[in-house]
Amino acid sequence: MPEQPIAVVAVDAGGTSTRAVVVRLPGQCLGYAVAGSGNPIAVGPQAAAASVAESVIGALSTAEVPGTRIRMVVLAMAGAGSTDVAPEISSRLAGIGLDAPLVFESDLLATYFSGTHRPEGYAVIAGTGAGAIRVEDGRQVAVADGLGWLLGDEGSGFWIGRRVVRAALADLDGRGPSTALTPLMLDRLGVPAPSEPGDREPIRAAVRALYAGPPVRLADYAGLAFEADGDGAAELILDDAAAALARSLAAVRSPGVSGPVVLGGGILGRSPQVADRLAAACRAEEVRAVADGAVGACVLAVRHAGTLVDAAVFQQLTASLTAVR
């Protein structure tokens, strides 16, 4: 008689990295692994599926749990409902002996549940992309932004990074004020500074390098705004990012839902410069920052498996995930 499934796999598939966790029911994290971008909108279904499979393989290996013991795989993934990524993931997981059902959830909801087990509140996410949600009865009921780098994602890593490189280029050709972002950008690109007034070769070299990659990679330059501490152009960019995220939060606020507000994603989870500005604008009694959506993906996974996630289970998931990371 085959062994019964004992665990679920939770996947937090982000624009920069993908995190997979093996969770023994009702709520003990056993294994964890990280791979590349799992966002099918940003990198395409095949690359996203490859990252998911790589992270799941790593988590199963760390947990020493075979794929046959997995009840289901729950994926918190941006754009999962609008791409053909599901067949790609199923095929790759079947190839490693994991033939469990796939369940897709919102990456924004996973971020929310990384900060709290409470069934009502809000989340603001700013990583490669950005958006805000309202959660009621444990479900995502309202969304603002999250429209992708071309049409929205105001306050995101892409949005900040694009502002950074535009400010630096404007400094180089005289359209904008001098900024500490300029030498930081040139150094990141490996481009020498202008040798004399009117030297346009650094501009040409920078533009060639920036256009050589996909547009979404401009998010890589967001961190320069945090490095240029006290610089006027950088401070303006960060202030504008916080204001944009506050507008997204305001768009989903409801008088009947009081909080908490969870702040997540690479920009808010790891960069207090924007998180502090946004927290001040939230005017909420409880504001929590999280580094990623891994805990929330685990919450969603064990909920789908029939476990009620109360404060005790949430604490167990959080502590056991910290232990295996």
pLDDT in tens, the chain (325 residues): 356 568 999 999 987 889 999 999 999 999 999 999 888 877 888 899 999 999 999 999 999 999 989 999 999 987 655 557 888 899 999 988 898 999 999 989 999 999 999 999 999 999 888 999 999 999 999 999 988 888 999 999 999 999 999 999 999 999 999 999 999 999 999 999 998 888 999 999 999 999 998 898 899 999 999 999 899 999 999 999 999 999 999 999 999 998 899 999 888 876 777 888 888 877 767 888 898 899 999 999 999 999 999 999 999 999 999 999 9
- Amino acid letter, residue 202: P
Q: Are 14 and 306 within 8 A, CB to CB? A: no
Q: Are 7 and 287 within 8 A, CB to CB? A: no
Report the C-alpha gap between 19 and 37 in whole angstroms: 9
Please report the pLDDT score of residue 155 as a whole number: 96
Cα dist from 265 to 51, 183, 280, whole Å = 18, 27, 18
Q: Which CATH number does the domain 118-292 belong to among 3.90.1200.10, 3.30.420.40, 3.30.70.20, 3.40.50.1820?
A: 3.30.420.40
Extract the tokens encoding 43: 């990198």
Report the C-alpha gap between 220 and 216 in whole angstroms: 8
Report the C-alpha gap between 108 and 146 in whole angstroms: 9
Please report the pLDDT score of residue 79 as a whole number: 64
How do the domains of the chain map onto residue ranges? 7-105+293-324, 118-292
Q: Among all chains, which residue has been given the structure tokens 């003990």?
A: 28
Report the C-alpha gap between 57 and 34 in whole angstroms: 10
Per CATH, which fold does 7-105+293-324 belong to? Nucleotidyltransferase; domain 5 (3.30.420)
For the entire predicted model, the pTM comes to 0.86
Common-topology check for domains 7-105+293-324 and 118-292: yes
E strands present in the chain: 7-13, 18-24, 28-35, 70-77, 102-105, 121-126, 130-136, 139-145, 261-264, 287-289
Please report the pLDDT score of residue 6 as a whole number: 85
Q: Are 37 and 47 within 8 A, CB to CB? A: yes
Backbone torsions φ then ψ of 103, nearest 5 degrees = -125, 125
Please report the pLDDT score of residue 81 as a whole number: 55
In 10 A of CB 190, how many CB atoms?
A: 9
